[in-house]
Amino acid sequence: MSTDIPLPDHRPRLVATDLDGTIVRSDGKISPRTVAALDLIERAGCMLVFVTGRPPRWMPSVAEATGHHGLAICANGAILYDLRTERVVEQQVLDPARIRQVVEAMRREMPDIVFACEYGKELWHEADYPVFQDAGQPGVRTATLAELCAQPAAKLLARHRFLDSETFMRQARAVAGAYAEFTYTGYDGLLEISASGVSKASGLARFCVRHGIDAADVIAVGDMPNDLPMLAWAGTGYAVANAHPDVLAAVDRHLPSNDEDGVAQLLERLFNV
């Protein structure tokens, strides 16, 4: 166990952790050590919240692996999801008018893009949008662009055929940043677009207000640029060693990597195991 992990000044009331690249290892699994460490949080009387870019339909495996504990803030802050009942509790959505503004502005300047929309547990996508592991799954269907723009969505997805995600985001913000929030969680030309003001930080802050928890009493851990607002908002933020360079530069406290169970090492020290 690492002994040089910097600990916060006091025990938190809430631990918020990202999933993929943070507690989910490179093999796509959450290790038994991390599952046991997550259990320490609630045993100590603290709250555990997963804060993720994942949509709800990707959460059953997490609920199964972690024993259906607690709540998750999904879709980069747009959806509150109950892991015990596996249902959507609330959503902060992009309204159709905003979706149309974003889509029209982006496609006018960047024609080599395709779109999809997340609606709770459903994904609707243009015919050329690659759905990968979602292919053939319930709630996943092809739609026209007009259909995508016709109803509120938790998240608009845009994928560029040729640009990496960081370059794509810079260009997209330049033409449509006034209409929505833009972020990314990988390097494959995918942007995740939420309603203005919606982020992992806003979703977590809204949750904490309801439970009377101050930011100073929150620990947050992440690895990608979509985690930066949350890591800045929390009283104590940590980046895992495998994090994006921008995250490592912005966050002073670092943990061992996801494949080294860095979050588990922090929790074991924090809760005196």
Q: Strands, E, within 161-227: which ranges?
A: 180-183, 190-195, 218-222
pLDDT at 186: 81
Task: Provide the 10 A C-beta neighbour count for residue 39.
Answer: 16
Residue (of 169, 200, 220, 226) closest to 92 by Cα position: 200
Rg of the chain, C-alpha, whole Å:
18
Distance CA 40, CA 48 (A): 10
pTM score of the predicted model: 0.93
pLDDT at 1: 43
* Tens of pLDDT, residue by residue, the chain (273 residues): 445 888 998 999 999 999 999 999 999 999 999 999 999 999 999 999 999 999 999 999 999 988 887 789 999 999 999 998 889 999 999 999 999 999 999 999 999 999 999 998 999 999 999 999 888 899 999 999 999 999 999 999 999 999 999 999 999 999 999 999 999 988 789 999 999 999 999 999 999 999 999 999 999 999 999 999 999 999 999 999 999 999 999 999 999 999 999 999 999 999 985
Please write the tens of the pLDDT for every residue from 229-246: 999 999 999 999 999 999
Please write the tens of the pLDDT for every residue from 32-58: 999 999 999 999 999 999 999 999 999
